[in-house]
C-alpha cells in the first residue's frame, strides 16, 4: 500500500515563495487524503494492489473495476502521483538539468517561451487542475493543462514538471492571485 512520501526538506524551505503553513497543510492533509483514498480503493482489488499506480492510470479504461471505483482511482491515484512529483521538483537540493533545458530550448525555442506557455496554461485552467510539461508517448515534450487531479499518465505521458493550481496550493499566501503564485513558483523549481 502507498504511504505519504517524505518531502526531503522542511516545510519552510520554499519561503518566501511558498509559505510553510501552506506546505504543511498541502502535504499532511491534502496529499495524505489522496494517499488514504487510493489505498482504500485498492483494498477492494487486491490483485491490482501490486501494480504501480502509474500503470493503473495508463490502463484505467481496461481495468475490471466498478465505474465509481475507477473514478476514485483516477482522482486519488492522480492526486497521489501529481503531488509526489510536485514535492520532488520543488526540492531546494535539486540541481539544474542541463539536458532538459537544452531539449526545452530545442522544442519550444527558448526556456522563456516554454515558461510563457506553461504559465498561460496554469492561468487559464478553469477551476482546479494542473499545468504540465510532459514527455508524450512518442518521447517528445508537450505542454498542457489538466482538470482536477487528472494525471498525464492517463494519456500514456510521463510528467516532468507539474504545477498544482488548486486553490489549496496557494490561497493562504496569494488568495485569489493565481498569477502571482505561478510566477513565484518558478523560484522554487531548481531543475530548469
Average pLDDT, integer, range 148-174: 97
Does the structure show a pLDDT above 90 at 190? no
Q: Average pLDDT, stretch 40-54? A: 95
* Cβ-contact 124, 145 below 8 angstroms: yes
Q: Where are the domains of the chain?
A: 20-89, 98-188
Residues 85-98 have a mean pLDDT of 96
Mean pLDDT, rounded, for 16-29? 98
pLDDT value for 49:
87
Check if the beta carbon of residue 182 is closer than 8 Å to that of residue 119.
Answer: yes
Domains 20-89 and 98-188 share a fold: no
- Please check whether the domain covering 98-188 is classified as CATH 3.30.930.10: no
- Rg of the chain in Å (alpha carbons): 17
Mean pLDDT of 47-70: 96
CATH assignment of 20-89?
1.10.287.990
Give the pLDDT mean for 143-171.
97
Amino acid at each position: 500500500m502507498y504511504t505519504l512520501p517524505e518531502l526531503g526538506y522542511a516545510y519552510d524551505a520554499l519561503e518566501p515563495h511558498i509559505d510553510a503553513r501552506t506546505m504543511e497543510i498541502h502535504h499532511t492533509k491534502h496529499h495524505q487524503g489522496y494517499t488514504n483514498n487510493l489505498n482504500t480503493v485498492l483494498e477492494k482489488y487486491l490483485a491490482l494492489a501490486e501494480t504501480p499506480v502509474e500503470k493503473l492510470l495508463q490502463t484505467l479504461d481496461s481495468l475490471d473495476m466498478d465505474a465509481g471505483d475507477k473514478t476514485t482511482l483516477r482522482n486519488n491515484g492522480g492526486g497521489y502521483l501529481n503531488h509526489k512529483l510536485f514535492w520532488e521538483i520543488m526540492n531546494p537540493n535539486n540541481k539544474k538539468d542541463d539536458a532538459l533545458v537544452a531539449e526545452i530550448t530545442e522544442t519550444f525555442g527558448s526556456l522563456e517561451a516554454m515558461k510563457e506557455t506553461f504559465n498561460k496554461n496554469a492561468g487559464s485552467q478553469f477551476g482546479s487542475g494542473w499545468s504540465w510539461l510532459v514527455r508524450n508517448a512518442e518521447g517528445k515534450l508537450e505542454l498542457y493543462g489538466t482538470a482536477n487531479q487528472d494525471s498525464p499518465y492517463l494519456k500514456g505521458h510521463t510528467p516532468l514538471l507539474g504545477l498544482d493550481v488548486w486553490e489549496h496550493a496557494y490561497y493562504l499566501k496569494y488568495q485569489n492571485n493565481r498569477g502571482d503564485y505561478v510566477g513565484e513558483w518558478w523560484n522554487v523549481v531548481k531543475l530548469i
